[in-house]
Amino acid sequence: MKRIMILGSTGSIGRQALSVIAAHEQQFSVCAVAAHTHWQEAAMQIRQYHIRFACMTNAAAAAALQQEMGRQCTVFSGTAGMLQLMDAVQADMVLTSLVGAAGIEPTLYAIQKGMDIALANKETLVAAGELVMQAAKDKGVHIVPVDSEHGAIFQCLQGRRAEEVDSLLITASGGPHFHRPASEFSKITVEECLTHPTWHMGKKITVDSATMFNKGLEVIEAHWLFHLPFDRIEVVIQPQSIIHSMVQFVDSSVLAQLGMPDMRLPIQYAFSYPARFPVSGAKKISWKELRHLDFFAPCPEKFPSLPLAYEAGKAGGTLPAVLNAANEEAVYAFLRKEISFTRIFSLVAAAVDAHHVQPATSLAAVREADRWARAYVHDKL
């Protein structure tokens, strides 16, 4: 039985991961959970899955959860508490589904402890890809992607040699505004952004999908996961979200991974790899009803997020960390209705242009770049 620790257990990915584990109790168990503020939901998870160790990164939530659970569960507190959680519990795999740069340090710590990673926190590789991949190599730790796109590429590459690969084709739904005229972008509301045509996700990633910054971050993540240069990683709009990504090989053939939009599939495969199990209630593709699959080229004029991400990725060093942190702060300002939709692009672009790139050879360097970018955006609000 594989013992799984879930960081971000009360978020969208965390909840779906727990449903996967509940459906396969002979294969998986939950040994620990971590969340931020939703301690009541964490308490329900602890009772349902008989969890003895947990962490709430919000101190007040940690105190409330500990009082609620008593001796039934040991609750650690704060960001440092997640590291203490990993000292207390040795998991076979850690699902990192925290939002944003908060996932970097816990992921690195889990790797140092020799735990395999199911990576749902793309920002970890965007900001600290060099550090994380080197640490995983040194420790012999497996990093299995949970993002549907990277999970698709991971599956398409099984049994293939690196020299056989020509390029990666990362698909994107295009989000809710792909066909909307650019002249209307400044009028886009928070509510419109949070209505995604094919996926049900958390607020931050749903806005990232609307701006296509999510896809830009995924390009950088793919660079680190699959060791390909940026000029061999393309983005393709596939609005039905049926083709999750593709790999083109040197003989010009293409392998694609298809499936209905359901995050339980890549989550479960990350847990079960290389085995496959049934996914309870998962819809199969109806080939009678699916009459066409559409493809479009991305539109960098409407979505400058993509060229910005390629620029930051190619420059390397601390610039991807700045791109990520600036985007996080801009998105949260948009969600608070402090800035317009289009201001997200301009704030991130300004931070990228203003940053003096440094080597990202230490966690301290990545943290400083992250801190600088957040302060820069706050000053511009």
**Residue 243, pLDDT score:** 98
11 in a labelled binding site: yes
Q: Which portions of the chain are predicted below pLDDT 70?
A: 196-197, 199
- Domain assignment present for residue 277? The answer is no
221 in a labelled binding site: no
Cα 83 to Cα 7, 8, 71, 113, 134, distances in angstroms: 11, 14, 21, 10, 20
Domain that holds residue 372: 316-380
Last residue of a domain, one of 126, 145, 164: 145
What residues have CB less than 8 Å from 207, skipping those under 6 apart? 190, 193, 194, 331, 334, 335, 344
164 in a labelled binding site: no
**Residue 278, pLDDT score:** 92
Whole-number percent of the chain with pLDDT over 90: 93
Is the bond leading into 274 cis (omega within 30 degrees of zero)? yes
C-alpha R_g of the chain = 20
Q: Based on the domain organization, do 220 and 301 belong to the same domain?
A: yes
Closest CA to 53 of 104, 102, 87, 15: 87
Q: Based on the domain organization, do 111 and 129 belong to the same domain?
A: yes
**Residue 100, pLDDT score:** 84
Q: Based on the domain organization, do 293 and 333 belong to the same domain?
A: no
147 in a labelled binding site: yes
**Residue 319 to residue 316: CA distance in whole angstroms:** 6
Q: Express each pLDDT in 223-251 by its tens digit.
A: 999 999 999 999 999 999 999 999 999 99
**Residue 70, pLDDT score:** 96
Q: What is the CATH number of the domain that holds 330?
A: 1.10.1740.10
**Residue 201, pLDDT score:** 75
327 in a labelled binding site: no
**Residue 36, pLDDT score:** 96
**Token digits of residue 218:** 């995924």
- Domain assignment present for residue 166? The answer is yes
Q: Based on the domain organization, do 196 and 328 belong to the same domain?
A: no
12 in a labelled binding site: yes
Q: Which amino acid is at 199?
A: W
Q: Express each pLDDT in 64-116 by its tens digit.
A: 999 999 999 999 999 999 999 999 999 999 999 998 888 999 999 999 999 99
Count of domains observed in the chain: 3
Going by DSSP bridges, is the β-strand pair 243-249/165-172 parallel, antiparallel, or unpaired?
Answer: antiparallel
Q: Is 33 within 8 Å of 56 (Cβ atoms)?
A: no
**Residue 202, pLDDT score:** 80
302 in a labelled binding site: no
What residues have CB less than 8 Å from 180, skipping those under 6 apart? 188
214 in a labelled binding site: yes
- Domain assignment present for residue 269? The answer is no
**Residue 99, pLDDT score:** 86
Q: Based on the domain organization, do 130 and 203 belong to the same domain?
A: no
**Residue 47, pLDDT score:** 98
202 in a labelled binding site: yes
**Residue 82 to residue 305: CA distance in whole angstroms:** 32
138 in a labelled binding site: no
* φ, ψ for residue 283, nearest 5 deg: -80, 140
- Domain assignment present for residue 281? The answer is no
Q: Based on the domain organization, do 16 and 119 belong to the same domain?
A: yes
Q: Based on the domain organization, do 141 and 155 belong to the same domain?
A: no
Give the E-state strand segments of the chain in sequence order. Answer: 2-7, 28-35, 53-56, 74-77, 93-96, 116-119, 143-145, 165-172, 233-237, 243-249, 254-258
189 in a labelled binding site: no
pTM value is: 0.95
Q: Based on the domain organization, do 362 and 291 belong to the same domain?
A: no
Q: Based on the domain organization, do 305 and 348 belong to the same domain?
A: no
SS3 sequence of 7-41:
ECCCCHHHHHHHHHHHHCCCCEEEEEEEECCCHHH
**Residue 103 to residue 16: CA distance in whole angstroms:** 18
**Residue 199, pLDDT score:** 65
